[in-house]
Chains A and B, each alone.
Chain A
Amino acid sequence: MTDNQITGIPAADLLGSCIKLKKDEYRIVQICAVRTQDGYELTYSFAKEYDMVNLRVQILVDEEIASISDIFSPAFLYENEIRDLFGAKIQMINFDYRGNLYRIDTETPFKQKG
């Protein structure tokens, strides 16, 4: 099992890596955000049969990152969730809820630790 191999990549390489995985017939499993000291750590998980591949991108709080929803269409839900809860700046989501996926009173509640 390769579930827990996580490969760090620059944000600029994300779309290229996703296109390659799509061509290799991987499906999207999840996108997970973690708040770090000065930004976010985004982990993109893909699977083919039982093999899972994880790509990790580090971005700063105000850094924009492109959506992968044009390559893996189900990514729109994960990306909207990350934007709602963490406030990460994900651009060009193919189905954009504009911060309204979750009906919550607090804006980006997971952005601050504690």
Chain B
Amino acid sequence: MGTRSIVPFGPQHPVLPEPIHLDLVLEDELVVEAIPSIGFIHRGLEKLVEKKDFVEYVYVAERVCGICSFMHGMGYCEAVEHTMGIEVPDRAKYLRTIWSEMSRIHSHMMWLGLLADAFGFESLFMESWRMREKILDMFEYSTGGRVIFSVNKIGGQRKDMDNSMISDFVGILDGMEKELKSLSYTFLTDYSVKSRLEGVGMLSKQQAHDLGAVGPFMRASGISLDTRMTGYAAYPHLEFEPITSSAGDSFARVDVRIKEIYQSIDLIKQAAAKIPAGDVFTPYKGNPTGEYLMRVEQPRGEAVYYVKANGTKNLDRFRLRTPTFANLPGLVEVLKGCQLADVPILILTIDPCISCTER
């Protein structure tokens, strides 16, 4: 046995995008144990539900995170809509699907760039983020905002997209798909990328299940689950299957996310072809009553939105279980047995969002 030492890692570190702290127990350069510690940016957003009424709270839910902002707003709205028995118009469901999949593409492109940056492939980082800008431009064009764009409301959407805009987006995505082929070729075949990712941070199918992992992190270990299959928004009308890999290493997590970008482009095209005409908002009266658990597949994995209402304008409780929170036990597991130099990459492979996690 080598000399044991404890290395504090984070919350500030050149390759950590978010403030998480780990106490790494090392034997020489080998990590034998990792103890996670969070809580640097806890904002108590769930508690605000007692001060803001259920309509205003949509804006708070959207501010849980800057990457998954749209889906947080949507998940909250869908949970409240279920307690009130509101049937959202079909066009609004399709719009939610389109904006959700655009969010997934932008999140995965951002993650690919961060990962490339972490293993020192700067041009790959810049190329990933250059392509991501196109999605942000599409957000700006369709909503007026690039990061937080507040298009969700209880009962439907605040904004519509006209059909010519949707056609334009399909054209942009066609071009992006071609560019993505060259980007993904580098990610999936380059020797230097493979040498940093293949066989690193293994998580077996059984471990992923037992540790409650979610999202691409789980699917890269061979579990074929995707919450979109439960049938919210317009997903029941679209053809798709969960994307999986059986390898369970860091390279498999890249592979799954790249394929999910292609899948998202395909889902947007399907939705664009099927989106019906009509209203995007259902008027409603009264306040929510009862409780509901809503599950949404975010870019990082399954998020669970719980609302409990009491018939007044303020909810009793809003609770959000984020994908990163669910993936922390899996992260601790993959860190065991890795080299110290691989720690930043392994943290990135769960695509951590600590803002979401701490709320």
Chains A and B form a bound pair: yes
A interface, CB within 8 angstroms of B? 1, 3-4, 6, 25, 27-30, 32, 34-35, 43, 45, 49-50, 52, 54, 72-74, 76-77, 97, 100-104, 109-110, 113-114
Known interface pairs A74-B329, A110-B47; 19 further A-B residue pairs with C-beta atoms within 8 A, sorted by A's residue number:
A1-B230, A1-B231, A3-B293, A4-B82, A4-B293, A25-B209, A29-B302, A29-B326, A30-B306, A32-B306, A32-B317, A74-B212, A77-B325, A77-B328, A97-B37, A100-B39, A102-B358, A103-B40, A110-B46
Judged by a CB distance under 8 angstroms, whether B295 is at the interface is: yes
B302-320: CB near A (< 8 Å → 1, else 0) gives 1010101000000011010
Judged by a CB distance under 8 angstroms, whether B229 is at the interface is: yes
**Contact A30 to B329, CB < 8 A, known contacts A50-B225, A52-B295:** no
**Contact A109 to B44, CB < 8 A, known contacts A77-B328, A101-B38:** yes
CB closest residue in chain B, given A1: B230
Q: How extensive is the interface on chain B, given as a class? A: 35 or more
B interface, CB within 8 angstroms of A? 37-40, 42, 44, 46-47, 50, 82, 209-212, 225, 227, 229-231, 291-295, 302, 304, 306, 308, 316-317, 319, 321, 325-326, 328-329, 358
Query: Nearest chain B CB to A3's CB is how many angstroms away?
Result: 5
Tell me if B292 and A45 are in contact (CB < 8 A). no
CB closest residue in chain A, given B36: A77
CB within 8 Å: A-B pair count = 82
Q: Which residues of B contact A101 (CB under 8 A)?
A: 37-39
CB closest residue in chain A, given B317: A34
CB closest residue in chain A, given B294: A3
Q: List 25 A-B contacts (CB under 8 A).
A: A3-B294, A4-B291, A6-B291, A27-B212, A29-B304, A29-B321, A30-B319, A34-B308, A50-B229, A50-B230, A52-B293, A54-B293, A72-B212, A73-B210, A74-B212, A74-B328, A100-B37, A100-B39, A101-B39, A102-B39, A103-B42, A104-B44, A110-B46, A113-B50, A114-B50
Q: Which residues of A contact B291 (CB under 8 A)?
A: 4, 6
Q: Which residues of B contact A30 (CB under 8 A)?
A: 304, 306, 319, 321, 326
A27, B225: Cα distance in complex, Å: 13
A49, B223: Cα distance in complex, Å: 9
